[in-house]
Structure 1
Amino acid sequence: LGLVRLIRQMAPHQRIHASTQMSISNAEAIRWLDDLGIQRFVLARENSIQEIKAIKANTDKELEVFVHGALCVSYSGQCFTSESIGGRSANRGQCAQSCRFGYEMHVDGERKDLQGKSFLVSPQDLCGINEVPSLIEAGVDCFKVEGRLKTPEYVATAARNFDHAITSAQKNNVLDQPVYMKKQMASAFSRGFYPGWFHGVNHQDLVDGTFSSHRGFEFGTIRNVNGNSLEVEISEEQVRQGLKADFIKPGDGVLWVYRDRHGQSIEKGGFVFAVKSLSPKKFALEFSRDIAMDSIYSGARVYYNHDKDLKRDVALTVEDKERKKRIPVRVTASASLGQPLSVTYADGKYSVTATSESICEPAKNKGLNSLDLRDELFALMGSPFRGEEFEFATAEETPMFLPNRQVKELRQKLVKELTELRIANGPAADIVPETIPWSNGKKISGQKIAGVKLNLLL
């Protein structure tokens, strides 16, 4: 507080944001600090959406809210455990993550059997992507993602998916299959995703207790062990959210957690060698023979924790300048048994459509799936285009087969037709990026204000 007053004396017009370390969790606290002229307050993570809405109704200050990242077991990060154990102050950016350690529980001098739950104070990670529309409606001015010491993949997936969620909410569109967004973000890093305190307090669900590090995206259960493969069934919850069995591909990594013969939780995992679809929500994952299989794995929880294409995709979006110069196209495909595959490429002004020579037939093994189709139809490196959006429509539950050569020929034909169409008619008009309405009034003016020499985030 003394530092804020000093800044106000030195630079009266300096913009100041109040960090979550100030533990602001109600409108009364904001009013108490009104004479300091703080423009934005980062609210405590413990606030529910209803509480945030009530705060906004009683203040004209900007509100910033955490929507993704690690959660602190202490109130708004006011934790002294790290300092007391190792002399490293969490409130000075030196947290030793004491909440991620395993602990014993003693009651009246007697040690309790926790049945494998030793991580008693390790919360799951916050993921509020489903809550974005409600938070905007509540009056939140800025979303905050915790990203300290995280990888480029973590930053890229969080920024990309939350940007898409915000844009969809601003257009009053329902967010399309957020489960796939969570899968992508969780593969970069996740201790399990939970909406935090947005819907109120529920500590029993917030803290799993069986792990404290990255596991990825939990999607199902092992139903059978057969040779060097695992039969996995997607959970009903994930099916309800739109997850389908074709989301996983060879080269991806999975982890499964089972209880050994002593009742202890054990983690095991590996890279997928092959995938065979068994039904819309069940598939067989084949692994290399150096991964020992055991019938004890039946019933194990399964996590998707490595996306083989993620590093490449992030590198393309961050580093490949040539990719940014190419023209974005939307690709849509549709297929049904007894009919040819239909594919459309659209650049925002022009579109071209073509169908395969052969019809789709029942597959004997692995059939057409959205991931393989996307990879083939997005293979545009030698063209002036780049794949931006992809949609695959089919009502068939039976796997369908079409020679990959025909998909490749479709892509080549459509790229040629779209290129010729643009040359003949001229390029489509440049698309002016759409600004987000709620941010327009929040932009800092480019006008220089005399005396401003310091930009400080408290």
Structure 2
Amino acid sequence: MNKKNDNHQIPDFIEVLSPAGSFESLKAAIHAGADAVYLGGHKFGARAFADNFDLENMKRAIDYVHLHGKQIYMTVNTLFKNEEIEELYDYLLPYYQEGLDAVIVQDVGVAEVIRREFPGMDLHASTQMTVMGVEGAAMLEELGFRRVVPARELSLEEISDIRQKTNLEIETFVHGALCFSYSGQCLMSSMLGGRSGNRGRCAQTCRLPYDLYGSGKKMNKGGEQYLLSPRDLCSLEILPQVLRAGTNSLKIEGRMKRPEYVAAVTRQYRRYVDRYLSDPKGFQVQKEDMQELLELYNRGGFTKGYYLSHNGREMMSMKRPNHMGYYVGKIKEINKNKICFLCEAHIHKQDILEISLPNKEKVELTSPVDGKKGSLIILNAKQIKRLRKGMPIYRTRNQTLISNIQEEVIQREKKENLKGNIIFCIGKPVMMQVRYGNLTATVTGDVVLEAEKQPVTREKIMEQVTKTGQTPFTLEITHVDMDEGAFLPMGALKALRREALKAMEEKIIRQKYRDIPVKMQTDRESVCHMPKRHQIIASVSNLEQGRAALTSEKVDAIYMLGEAIPFEQWEDFSKQCIQAGKEIYYAMPYVFHKKAGREWRTWQELICHGSHHGILVRTMDEFALLRSFWDFDKTMVLASSLYAYNKEALRFYKEQAGHKVRITLPAELNEKELLSLQEPYADLVVYGYQPLMISAQCQTKNHLGCKKKEEKLTLKDRYQKNFYVRNYCRYCYNVIYNGDPLLLLSMQKELSNLQVGGYVYQFTIENAEETKAVLEGRFENKKYTKGHFKRGIE
């Protein structure tokens, strides 16, 4: 663990953490200087389409990493359905025995099982948990987590706050792709195509083209259609600030990337971490190193992400969602089927060059020759009639760079240095001892003979035993104790060396092996205090909707979004609801950064002792905050964004809440899966425009500048399907809603089978009249969806 840091000092423990989507990438990372790697098994990882590791390859990976003295973390960072939670013990057991260092988890139910069943296995909280501040981090520390990967949207100041107020290790992303949505809070891929990001199957809907409309007018500029596509993160130039904020683990994204990418990015971060630690004042990133990173992969340049800015269009790559390459020149002349361009960077034979056409098509060219900067290159080109003078040319593959990475890093096997000594006495078995750190391996071989003709020399012995070949070791013999006139065949010395190196290899990798843990029995059940009949609950986002719900005889309870009312006015609205015979709950925001935490602690007395019946929480930090208020005795309502996909997660939330709690059933489970939870009297959203993305980015600001005015905008995809965007200015975030509202009210038989305790009508973009109509059962002739209630997700 780290010591609490009050002076923005660099943590004692720092690691470069690299992705391993394949065994080749794992080796590339270790060769390039990674301190640790993270990877997925054949199930339950957030990159289901990577070349993940089966049982034997995972054990082989664990052994390889430990052989080289590094750490290995396994992703189990998806949400588990109820039947899958039963598989977890058998799935993890062989990796636990093999010495796996840590498991990265999203699901609190999964964390509960691991904590209970696998003592000594470190728990790392995935960024998919959407931890936004000290409240959530402190709770995870209390629950036994060793490390937190907070939301990517945290500033350096917020990361520093976690460092100062907890003893958790902090892991943050420093390089690679960024999500548009808060990780773990994106249902867009899931709702549109059944491929859930919470199940490792994201279809990258944020990388697709959209147009933005406000008041009937198109808002995005021509050529800017990738409105949800962030640039890739690169923190190399602000590495000192990231470290001083208290980050322990510098995480590189890229389990879907090639080994060359992993090797080169790891090498750069290893190099600059070491440079900074050895000479902080002299830290400076070289231009050619930034160029190398750009050549490997960039989406219109890099962003420093949310470390220094809360949001902004400079973080986005709106013109292109994929690799742009590196600018190398522009077309100078076009003649018949050839183009000529002036090199503004060195060009290498077999480089892939690209020219983008206005209709999003592209022309790819392969350079047949080398070209120095300032020289002219002539290339054969297709679609010549569509090319124009002045069109820019980008290099999307630098063949020399790739070849150098392969030669200098990937193909250069990493070897550990052993020291050894030999006892070579006539009449006794030859003995060899090798040392690695505090480990010692001793082996004996054939009996040493007295030489009949030519005795073995000391030099010959050392020459034979230090030929380590394809083994993962080099060997330095520091002492040979031998008799004069001794002899042994060279084959016997080679066999002795092989046996000694094999013995040391086994000693190294077996250091972390574990015994089989005793499987614990879990028959605990906790009671959820809920009403005996289902309630009609109106979840409203503003006072207009709230007043419509207040006058409806049908409504039993109201969840009012607290952002819509100043804290000072909340008590008056709360009393109006109570006078109308309705329960009233304060609904917390979709995000809970430091500003929200400060406000809530200021109003703690009102939260704990106001006249309202309870609080609706949407994030892990909000749950942790209320849990920390010892005098909070009202009902805590968990929104569906606090995922409870299995009984272990349900049990966790009930026990940790410590008082009355209501569960809102998950939006991604189908009827059969919801039934398997056996959670009577839980709430279910039966109507509403479902939130698909929660984002720190603001569409209004990115296209018109910040107005500090809440409004509804429309996103339109390439199939002309609408999505609605609403900006919430108090805590500065956007929510993207599905254009087709959910409607389950026609399925009364199925709902009764679930014994639903509350039917939640979720009002977001509706006006007062629309809210009233829905509550009265008057549904307009529009397209509705049943969400995942029938189809579910993989």
Which one of the candidate residues 272, 283, 291 is aligned to 2:367? 272
Residues 250/12 of structure 1: CA separation in 2 closer, same or farther (3 Å cut): closer
For residues 210 and 288 of structure 1, what CA distance do their matches in structure 2 show?
Answer: 26
Q: How far has the Cα of 1:299 moved from its partner? A: 4.7
User: CA deviation digits over 1:345-370, x for unaligned, max 9?
Assistant: xxxxxxxxxxxxxxxxxxxxxxxxxx
Determine the structure 1 residue equivalent to 2:351: 252
- Given that 2:299 and 2:317 are in contact with CA atoms closer than 8 Å, whether structure 1 keeps it comes out as no
For residues 266 and 246 of structure 2, what CA distance do their matches in structure 1 show?
Answer: 20
Unmatched runs of 5 consecutive residues or more in structure 2 = 1-107, 417-509, 520-794
For residues 228 and 376 of structure 2, what CA distance do their matches in structure 1 show?
Answer: 34
For residues 101 and 199 of structure 1, what CA distance do their matches in structure 2 show?
Answer: 27
Name the SS for the 1:83 alignment partner: helix
Q: How far has the Cα of 1:66 moved from its partner? A: 0.5
For residues 133 and 150 of structure 1, what CA distance do their matches in structure 2 show?
Answer: 26
- Does residue 102 (structure 1) correspond to residue 209 (structure 2)? The answer is yes
For residues 8 and 58 of structure 1, what CA distance do their matches in structure 2 show?
Answer: 23
For residues 275 and 351 of structure 2, what CA distance do their matches in structure 1 show?
Answer: 29
Which one of the candidate residues 175, 188, 197 is aligned to 2:296? 188
- Given that 2:365 and 2:381 are in contact with CA atoms closer than 8 Å, whether structure 1 keeps it comes out as no
* TM-score of the superposed pair, with normalisation by structure 2: 0.36
For residues 352 and 239 of structure 2, what CA distance do their matches in structure 1 show?
Answer: 29
Residues 17/268 of structure 1: CA separation in 2 closer, same or farther (3 Å cut): same
What amino acid does structure 1 have at the position aligned with 2:363? K
Which one of the candidate residues 197, 201, 215 is aligned to 2:306? 197
- Given that 1:80 and 1:89 are in contact with CA atoms closer than 8 Å, whether structure 2 keeps it comes out as yes
For residues 129 and 516 of structure 2, what CA distance do their matches in structure 1 show?
Answer: 26
Q: How far has the Cα of 1:176 moved from its partner? A: 5.7
- Does residue 47 (structure 1) correspond to residue 154 (structure 2)? The answer is yes
For residues 331 and 303 of structure 2, what CA distance do their matches in structure 1 show?
Answer: 26
- Given that 2:237 and 2:285 are in contact with CA atoms closer than 8 Å, whether structure 1 keeps it comes out as no
Determine the structure 1 residue equivalent to 2:626: none
For residues 453 and 220 of structure 1, what CA distance do their matches in structure 2 show?
Answer: 61
- Given that 1:16 and 1:40 are in contact with CA atoms closer than 8 Å, whether structure 2 keeps it comes out as yes
Name the SS for the 2:116 alignment partner: helix
Q: How far has the Cα of 1:270 moved from its partner? A: 2.0
Which structure 2 residues correspond to residues 271-350 of structure 1 after superposition, within 5 A?
Answer: 271-274=366-369, 283-290=374-381, 297-317=388-408, 320=411
User: CA deviation digits over 1:88-126, x for unaligned, max 9?
Assistant: 101110000001111233334455573121111111111
- Given that 1:183 and 1:304 are in contact with CA atoms closer than 8 Å, whether structure 2 keeps it comes out as no
Name the SS for the 2:230 alignment partner: coil
Q: How far has the Cα of 1:138 moved from its partner? A: 1.8
Q: Which moved more, 1:268-277 or 1:187-196?
A: 268-277
Determine the structure 2 residue equivalent to 1:341: none
Which structure 2 residues correspond to residues 381-400 of structure 1 after superposition, within 5 A?
Answer: none
Residues 232/316 of structure 1: CA separation in 2 closer, same or farther (3 Å cut): closer
For residues 47 and 37 of structure 1, what CA distance do their matches in structure 2 show?
Answer: 23
Name the SS for the 2:379 alignment partner: coil
- Given that 2:343 and 2:371 are in contact with CA atoms closer than 8 Å, whether structure 1 keeps it comes out as no
For residues 66 and 130 of structure 1, what CA distance do their matches in structure 2 show?
Answer: 14
Number of aligned positions between the proteins:
315
- Does residue 230 (structure 1) correspond to residue 337 (structure 2)? The answer is no
Residues 211/77 of structure 1: CA separation in 2 closer, same or farther (3 Å cut): farther
Determine the structure 2 residue equivalent to 1:28: 135
Residues 452/216 of structure 1: CA separation in 2 closer, same or farther (3 Å cut): farther
Determine the structure 2 residue equivalent to 1:138: 245
For residues 291 and 253 of structure 1, what CA distance do their matches in structure 2 show?
Answer: 14
Residues 229/292 of structure 1: CA separation in 2 closer, same or farther (3 Å cut): farther
Residues 298/57 of structure 1: CA separation in 2 closer, same or farther (3 Å cut): farther
- Given that 1:129 and 1:165 are in contact with CA atoms closer than 8 Å, whether structure 2 keeps it comes out as yes
For residues 276 and 316 of structure 1, what CA distance do their matches in structure 2 show?
Answer: 22
Residues 78/179 of structure 1: CA separation in 2 closer, same or farther (3 Å cut): farther
Residues 448/92 of structure 1: CA separation in 2 closer, same or farther (3 Å cut): same
For residues 376 and 230 of structure 2, what CA distance do their matches in structure 1 show?
Answer: 30
- Given that 1:187 and 1:304 are in contact with CA atoms closer than 8 Å, whether structure 2 keeps it comes out as yes
Q: Which moved more, 1:99-108 or 1:31-40?
A: 99-108
Structure 1 vs Structure 2: percent identity of aligned residues?
Answer: 30
Residues 61/446 of structure 1: CA separation in 2 closer, same or farther (3 Å cut): farther
Q: How far has the Cα of 1:254 moved from its partner? A: 2.8
Name the SS for the 1:105 alignment partner: strand
Name the SS for the 1:283 alignment partner: coil
For residues 318 and 453 of structure 1, what CA distance do their matches in structure 2 show?
Answer: 43
For residues 194 and 294 of structure 1, what CA distance do their matches in structure 2 show?
Answer: 36
Pairwise CA RMSD? 3.4
What amino acid does structure 2 have at the position aligned with 1:103? Y
Residues 143/61 of structure 1: CA separation in 2 closer, same or farther (3 Å cut): same
For residues 395 and 379 of structure 2, what CA distance do their matches in structure 1 show?
Answer: 17
For residues 272 and 315 of structure 2, what CA distance do their matches in structure 1 show?
Answer: 23
For residues 186 and 214 of structure 1, what CA distance do their matches in structure 2 show?
Answer: 9
For residues 333 and 352 of structure 2, what CA distance do their matches in structure 1 show?
Answer: 18
Residues 295/157 of structure 1: CA separation in 2 closer, same or farther (3 Å cut): same
- Given that 2:325 and 2:394 are in contact with CA atoms closer than 8 Å, whether structure 1 keeps it comes out as yes
- Given that 1:223 and 1:298 are in contact with CA atoms closer than 8 Å, whether structure 2 keeps it comes out as yes
What amino acid does structure 2 have at the position aligned with 1:26? G
Determine the structure 2 residue equivalent to 1:213: 322
Determine the structure 2 residue equivalent to 1:401: none
Which one of the candidate residues 84, 93, 107 is aligned to 2:191? 84
